[in-house]
Each structure stands twice: as C-alpha cells, then as structure tokens.
C-alpha cells in the first residue's frame, strides 16, 4: 500500500459530492448575532407532508443535535467537566441531524435509514435536498443554474414512502460543532469519524426507541467509506444492519488516479478510470465511430482495460514501440484524446487532465463529479482542470435552498452559521486500523476489510452499490472492482447487488435518474427489512 497522499488526490476527495470548497460556507443574514455552540442535546419538531407516487405521506420532522464524545470518553472520570470546555479532558461533538418519521407507522416494523455525504468535511445537504428528503431543489439540468431565487418542490422520489430518514451532518459541518481539548484531532480522521457516527446511531436508536427497527446506512462518496466502516463498528455496539447502501463508492483510496510522475509503478487507477473517460467521450460525441448504445460500448472498454491495456501498463518500458502505438490508438478510439498526447503521457491519463483535454479544442472543461457539465477553461495552458463546472453550476442553489428550508420550514438555525463544507481534507487523519491489524496503518485508507468482516459476522447483511457512468471522481468501474475483491466467501457474493446509471457522481441531479435510484433503493429496503 502507498504511504504518500498526493495533494491533488486530497483535492479530489474534498470536492467529491458535497465538499465544494468554493462555496463551502453559507453565512447567515448580515447583522444576525452568531450563537456560541451549546453542547447540549436540542430538538425542534415540526409537521409536514410529502406526496410520493400520488400518495400523501404525513410526517413528523425533528431537527436537532445529539452529543457524541471522542473515543476513550469515561463518564465517571469526566464527571463535572463542562461540555465543549477547552479544559475538558476529552473532546465533544454536537452532531446535527434532521429526522423524518412517518406518522401512524409502527416503529418495530418501520425501517430507519441513516444518510450522509462525504468530503471528508461535507455536510449532508446534497443527499437531503437533492435525493431523498421531502423537498428537493430544482437545478438546471447539466447547465449552470441561474442565481436566485431558487425553486424548491415536493420530492416525488422521497424515500419516506419506504423508510424513516435521518440525515446526519458530520462533526464540524452543517450545524454540527466540535469543542474541547484536541477536538479536531479527535473527530477529523477515518477512524475518529466512524466512531462518532457509530455512537450517534446508538444514541439515536435509544432516544427514539428504534432498536428493533430494520436499520440501514446510506453513504455517498467518502460517506461510502464511512458506511462500510460503520457496518463493522456498529456490530461492536451490538447493532446489526439490514443493509448498507453505497452511492459512488470509494472504499480503497489506492484506486484513485493521481500524478503518474510522482507515483510510478501504480497502474490500477488508470485502468479503473478508463471506462468513465470513454463514457464521457461518448456523451460529448468525441469518438470517431461512436456507437449508439453506451452500455455495450462500455463492456468493450472494460474488457480492453483489464486485458490489453492492463498488460501494456504492467510491462512499463518493456512494451515495444509497435505495441505501444497500437495501445495508444485504441485509447484514442475510446477516449477521443490525440494519439500524440497519449504517447506523451506514457499511456496514463492523470486525474484532472482528461477533463481539460477532451474538450480542449473548445477551450472548455468538463465536470469531475459529472462530466456532462461543461464550463469555460480557467487556464488554457494548465496541465489539469482547475475547477469543477458541476460545483459552479449547482452548489449555490443547494446551499441557498437548504438555508431557507432549515430556518423557515424546520424552524432551526436562528443565529447560527450553516457550514456546507469545511476545509479539513489536508489535515484529515487518513490512518485506519482494519480488523485484525495491531495498530492504525500509515497508508491510504481501505475499508474493504471492515465490510468483509461485517458480512462474515452478519451473513444476512446486504450491500447495494450504485454509481454513475459519467463520474470521474469515483469511477464506477473502480467501485465494482473494489467489491469484486472483497475478501468474503463465495456464498456471500449473492448479498451484493450493483446498479449503474447514465448520470454522474450525484446520480440524483437528473430527475429521471433520481426516480430510478429511488425505485432501486426502495426495492432493496423492502426486500431486506425482514418484515413479514
């Protein structure tokens, strides 16, 4: 495993769904007095309704916080210590959540799903306001959404028809806050983050009497790493999940493409990304012989990627010039990039370079999270893309819509600043201690061992994998590759299902694909909730 984390890789995962650093902080209205963090549980309850597939669902919404302590907290030893005090011997987090409970439903038979985005350093407004909450913000397709006023509508694809929902903001993000001695060190890391969410789930089940409910976690992007880790961590709290739902998964960071000049000899990431590059070239009509159907085309690309292309990369400088040219020509046929450029890159397409080069003749850059989005290139002479056009296109709409909805509808957040994302990715503690390891590993994190251990300990645990073809930040082929290398018995392979969509990282930004995602996730929950 690698021991170096490339800075561009950190930017990639900070930008991955929901940690849009350019618009991360949403300030309150000018002149509003900012309230100091109060490390005590708090709730505000409102009532609402949503119409899904023509049926009205009445619900109770609870916006509030739960208090979570850092690992090692001792109630007795810390008795009398003031929460959030910098003299406090351990750190504390006030974790914000919005829970939706269907009225009239029996808790024992009603599934409850915990949902979160990633970053690291992201709140969960993206999956909340874009995917499964009772309302969603309307954006302008794959074009830039004009500045406000923005439109929020009833979400016909809310998952409330199938499950109660709990959207959680990670410590320090959204309306969540941290305090106490070494607070950042205690919550901003792979294992620290998993611990905080595990304790949150435990406390939530207790507070709302949901211990006997069917239980699910839904993680997006870095949230999939959290979700896979949670499946195992929750078992230590004697909590078995019915299912883990992953959207745009990244469980093994070794599969993220970085700079091949700084990290030579690591070729898997370029193999895993090729089908997403090909899907992008297909979408933008950059292929000389463009097939009509995407999926058969991608099947050919995948076979080439793990066959001839993988073999060529593994040969390194032993690859003779004739075969090198042949591979470059095939790469050109699949990506639309010039053969001369591909030869110059030594057949390895760096992260950020494809997004800029595929439309270079038009001085435009594609998105990273969703390559269907296009924007003017900031620097035509740069080697890699300098920004993500999807970020610029939709993030302001999400942040504005959430701030309005939270304060006016949920009646929460007066005097508080909502932080859509926080810049913690550079200082994040990427060490992870997988099951069986004697200590945290100094390497890029990989939670496949955690998910495998969880599935072995709970052989009924089901896993659902979702991804978008036009996502370069967490390529769908890499996500599939990860799960196909999960160290589990063959008998447990049937517990994993895969769903892919002609969309990007945030599959739900396209309404028709949100409908598909809803139907697939709802079917997954109904098929695994053990309710007779």
In tens, the pLDDT along 307-344 reads: 999 999 999 999 999 999 999 999 999 999 999 999 99
Mean pLDDT of 481-489: 96
What's the mean pLDDT in 228-247?
98
Other Cβ atoms less than 10 A from the Cβ of 321: the count is: 8
- Indicate if the pLDDT at residue 15 is higher than 70: no
Per-residue pLDDT at 34: 41
Please count the residues of the chain.
532
Per-residue pLDDT at 493: 97
- Please report, rounded to a whole number, the percentage of residues in the chain having pLDDT higher than 70: 90
Write out pLDDT tens, residues 113-145. 999 999 999 999 999 999 999 999 999 999 999
Report the 3 state secondary structure along 414-476.
CCCCEECECCCCCCCECCECCCCCCCCECCCCECHHHHHHHHHHCCCCEEEEEEECCCCCCCH
**Which two three-digit tokens encode residue 468?**
């978008």
Number of H helices, E strands in the chain: 15, 16
Taking the C-alpha atoms of residue 355 and residue 341, their distance in angstroms, rounded to an integer, is 14
Residue 209 has pLDDT above 60, yes or no: yes
418-419/462-468 β-pairing: unpaired
Q: Which secondary structure element, helix H or strand E, spans residue 392, and what is its range? A: helix 389-408
Q: Is the dihedral of CA 462, 467, 472, 477 positive or negative?
A: positive
Contact 391, 20 (CB under 8 A): yes
The yes-or-no verdict on residue 383 having pLDDT over 90 is no
DSSP code of residue 29:
P
User: Per-residue confidence at 240, pLDDT binned at 50, 70, 90?
Assistant: very high
Angstrom distance (rounded) from CA 314 to CA 309: 9
Lowest mean pLDDT: which of 26-30, 375-379, 416-420?
26-30
Q: Contact, 458 vs 239, CB < 8 A?
A: no
SS (HEC) of 134-170: CEEECCCCCCCCCCCCCCEEECCCCHHHCCEEEEECC
Confidence at residue 82, expressed as pLDDT on a 0 to 100 scale: 57
Residue 121, sorted as left (phi over 0), alpha (psi -120 to 50) or beta, turns out to be left
Q: Which of 343-357, 494-508, 513-527 shows the lowest mean pLDDT across its residues?
A: 343-357
Per-residue pLDDT at 193 exceeds 50: yes
Provide the pLDDT confidence category of residue 75 given band limits of 50, 70 and 90.
low
Q: Is 60 exceeded by the pLDDT of residue 86?
A: no
Residue 371 above 80 pLDDT?
yes
Residue 73 confidence (pLDDT)? 79
For the segment 354-376, the average pLDDT, to the nearest whole number, is: 94
d(CA 237, CA 255): 31
The reported pLDDT for the residue numbered 26 is: 35
Least confident of 8-17, 27-36, 280-289, 361-370: 27-36
Mean pLDDT over residues 358-380, rounded?
93
pLDDT of residue 407: 97
Average pLDDT, the chain: 90
Q: Check whether 484 has a pLDDT greater than 50.
A: yes
Q: Which of these, 343, 351, 347, lies nearest to 368 by C-alpha position?
A: 351
Asked whether the beta carbons of 260 and 348 are under 8 A apart, the reply is: yes
List the single range of 2-6, 252-256, 360-364, 395-399 with lowest mean pLDDT: 2-6
CA pair distance 39, 27, nearest whole angstrom: 21
pLDDT above 50 for 27: no
The answer to whether residue 428 scores a pLDDT higher than 50 is yes
The average pLDDT across 183-202 equals 96
Q: What residues pair up with 247 in beta bridges, in sequence order? A: 220, 466
Angle at 182 between CA 35 and CA 419, to 5 degrees: 40
Domains and CATH numbers, the chain: 8-253+394-526 (3.40.50.1820), 259-390 (no CATH)
Helix (H) or strand (E) holding 113: strand 112-116
pLDDT at res. 443:
81
Q: What percent of the chain has pLDDT over 90?
A: 80
- Which DSSP letter does residue 22 get? G
Residue 494 has pLDDT above 50, yes or no: yes
Q: Which residues contact 508 (CB under 8 A, 6 or more apart)?
A: 127, 130, 131, 157, 514, 517
Q: Is the pLDDT of residue 176 over 70?
A: yes
- Tell me: pLDDT of 83 over 70: no
Q: Per-residue confidence at 37, pLDDT binned at 50, 70, 90? A: low
- Residues 262-310 pLDDT 10s: 788 889 999 999 999 999 999 999 999 999 999 999 999 999 999 999 9
Q: Is residue 19 scored above 60 in pLDDT?
A: no
Residue 490 has pLDDT above 70, yes or no: yes
Q: How far apart are CA 337 and CA 342, in angstroms?
A: 7
Residue pair 424/120 in contact by the 8 Å Cβ criterion: yes
**Whether the Cβ atoms of residue 297 and residue 278 lie closer than 8 Å to each other:** yes
Residue with tokens 């949100």: 514
Determine the pLDDT at residue 33: 43
**Confidence band of 441 (pLDDT split at 50, 70, 90):** confident
Give the Cα separation of 170 and 176 in Å (integer).
7
Q: Is residue 105 predicted with pLDDT exceeding 90?
A: yes
Residue 35 pLDDT > 60, yes or no? Answer: no
| SS3 per residue for 33-97 | CCCCCCCCCEEEEEEEEEEECCEEEEEEEEEEEEEEECCCCCCCCCCCCCCCCCCCCCCEEEEEE
């Amino acid at each position: 495993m690698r021991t170096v984390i490339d800075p561009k890789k950190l930017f990639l995962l900070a930008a991955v769904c929901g940690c849009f650093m350019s618009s991360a902080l949403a300030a309150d209205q000018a002149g509003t007095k900012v309230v100091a963090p109060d490390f005590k549980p708090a709730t505000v309850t409102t009532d609402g309704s949503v119409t899904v597939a023509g049926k009205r669902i009445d619900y109770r919404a609870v916006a509030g916080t739960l208090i979570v302590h850092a690992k090692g907290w001792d109630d007795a030893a810390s008795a009398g210590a003031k929460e959030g005090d910098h003299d406090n011997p351990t750190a504390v987090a006030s974790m914000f959540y919005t829970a939706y409970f269907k009225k009239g439903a029996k808790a024992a038979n009603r599934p409850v799903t915990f949902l979160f985005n990633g970053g690291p350093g992201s709140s969960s407004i993206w999956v909340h306001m874009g995917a499964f909450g009772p309302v969603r913000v309307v954006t302008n397709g794959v074009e830039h959404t004009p500045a406000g006023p923005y439109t929020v509508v009833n979400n016909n694809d809310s998952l409330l028809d199938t499950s109660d929902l709990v959207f959680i903001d990670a410590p320090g993000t959204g309306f969540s806050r941290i305090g106490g001695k070494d607070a950042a060190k205690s919550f901003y890391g792979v294992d620290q983050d998993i611990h905080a969410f595990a304790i949150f789930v435990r406390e939530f089940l207790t507070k709302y009497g949901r211990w006997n409910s069917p239980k699910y976690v839904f993680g997006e992007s870095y949230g999939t790493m959290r979700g896979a880790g949670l499946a195992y961590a929750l078992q230590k709290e004697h909590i078995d999940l019915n299912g883990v739902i992953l959207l745009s998964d990244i469980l093994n960071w070794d599969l993220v493409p970085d700079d091949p000049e700084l990290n030579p000899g690591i070729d898997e990431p370029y193999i895993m990304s090729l089908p997403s590059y090909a899907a992008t070239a297909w979408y933008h009509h950059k292929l000389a012989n463009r097939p009509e159907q995407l999926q058969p085309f991608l099947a050919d690309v995948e076979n080439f990627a793990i066959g001839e292309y993988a073999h060529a990369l593994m040969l390194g400088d032993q690859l003779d010039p004739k075969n090198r040219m042949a591979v470059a020509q095939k790469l050109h046929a699949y990506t639309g990039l010039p053969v001369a450029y591909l030869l110059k890159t030594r057949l390895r397409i760096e992260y950020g370079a494809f997004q800029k080069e595929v439309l270079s003749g038009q001085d435009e850059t594609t998105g990273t999270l969703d390559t269907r989005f296009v924007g003017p290139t900031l620097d035509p002479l740069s080697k890699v893309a300098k920004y993500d056009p999807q970020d610029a296109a939709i993030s302001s709409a999400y942040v504005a819509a959430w701030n309005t909805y939270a304060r006016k509808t949920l009646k929460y957040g007066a005097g508080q600043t909502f932080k859509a994302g926080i810049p913690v990715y550079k200082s994040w503690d990427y060490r992870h201690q997988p099951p069986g390891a004697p200590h945290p590993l100094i390497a890029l994190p990989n939670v496949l061992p955690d998910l495998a251990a969880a599935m072995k300990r709970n052989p009924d645990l089901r896993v659902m994998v979702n991804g978008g073809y036009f996502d370069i930040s967490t390529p769908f082929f890499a996500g599939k590759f990860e799960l196909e290398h999960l160290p589990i018995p063959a008998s447990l392979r049937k517990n994993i299902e895969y769903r892919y969509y002609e969309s990007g990282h945030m599959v739900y930004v396209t309404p028709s694909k949100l409908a598909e995602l809803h139907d697939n996730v709802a079917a997954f929950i109904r098929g695994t909730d053990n309710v007779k």
